[in-house]
């Protein structure tokens, strides 16, 4: 009997074109919907105070950051570009308030800024306490209308900042009914070495 010849089947090919199209659509979707955060830390240098063991996790989204530098300036920023543009009129602007009328603001002295003597972001100055309080309220209202969520407040204070500026900020937060906030600190050195 003759040997049975096996029929050779042609190799099956999978057309990858639709998969590449789907991957490109997904990539485009994520690029267009991603929110890029303008970094506050690159402009304002703050030496945070040390603390003991802190297990509080800071929020990542819908955050209003208040930074007190060692010159007594209070910087206000939000992580949402739409809210920032709605309230400040610029998608990358940074609000600043100097509560002490007897001292010169530190942000006006080029020696106190970054290496080039300037800020990378435009400043919106608030010289009146009532206008700064309105700014904090406007940030929260804009966040509720644009995002549907309230802002979580994070306070970063320089360890060399005047205690009076910190007290002023606490009073402003209390008067604007922003009573829930988190202070950001550095862990003590022995805690860092153990981890």
The 10s digit of each residue's pLDDT in 137-188 is 999 999 888 888 888 888 888 888 888 888 898 999 899 988 888 877 776 6
Across the chain, mean pLDDT equals 79
- For 119-133, the pLDDT digits (tens) are 777 888 888 889 999
Query: What Rg, from alpha-carbon coordinates, does the chain have?
Result: 26
Start-end of H helices in the chain: 17-33, 81-88, 129-146, 163-175, 189-194
pLDDT for 122: 80
* Cα–Cα distance measured from residue 140 to residue 80, given in angstroms and rounded to the nearest whole number: 11
- The whole-model pTM stands at 0.69
Q: Is residue 67 part of a domain?
A: yes
Residue 111 lies in a domain: yes
pLDDT at 195 over 50: no
The two tokens of residue 40 are: 């506050």
Whether 68 is in a domain gets the answer yes
109 within domain boundaries: yes
3-state helix, strand, coil in the chain (%, to 5): 35, 15, 50
Q: What's the domain range around 63? A: 50-194
Lowest-confidence range among 18-22, 59-63, 118-122? 118-122
Domain-located, residue 75? yes
Confirm whether 24 is domain-assigned.
no
| 33, part of any domain | no
- The residues, any chain, with a CB within 8 Å of residue 69's CB and separated by 6 or more, are 44, 45, 46, 75, 106, 107, 112, 158, 161
Q: Quickly state the pLDDT bin for 191 (edges 50, 70, 90).
A: very low
| Number of compact structural domains in the chain | 1
Q: Over 60: is that where the pLDDT of 40 sits? A: no
Determine, yes or no, domain membership for 26.
no
């Amino acid at each position: 009997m003759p040997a049975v010849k096996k029929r050779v089947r042609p190799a099956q090919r999978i057309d990858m074109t639709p998969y590449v199209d789907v991957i490109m659509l997904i990539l485009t979707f994520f690029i267009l919907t991603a929110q890029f955060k303008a970094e506050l830390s690159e402009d304002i240098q703050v030496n945070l105070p040390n603390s003991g063991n802190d297990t509080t996790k800071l929020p990542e989204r819908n955050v209003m950051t208040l930074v007190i530098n060692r010159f007594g300036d209070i910087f206000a920023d939000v992580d949402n570009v739409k809210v920032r543009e709605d309230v400040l009129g610029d998608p990358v602007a940074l609000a600043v308030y100097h509560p002490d009328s007897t001292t010169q603001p530190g942000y006006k002295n080029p020696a106190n800024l970054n290496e080039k003597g300037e800020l990378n972001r435009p400043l919106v100055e608030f010289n009146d306490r009532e206008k700064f309080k309105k700014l904090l309220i406007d940030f929260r209202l804009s966040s509720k209308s644009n995002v549907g969520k309230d802002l979580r407040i994070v306070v970063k204070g320089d360890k060399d900042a005047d205690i009076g500026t910190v007290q002023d900020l606490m009073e402003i937060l209390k008067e604007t009914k922003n009573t829930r906030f988190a202070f950001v600190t550095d862990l003590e050195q022995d805690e860092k070495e153990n981890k």
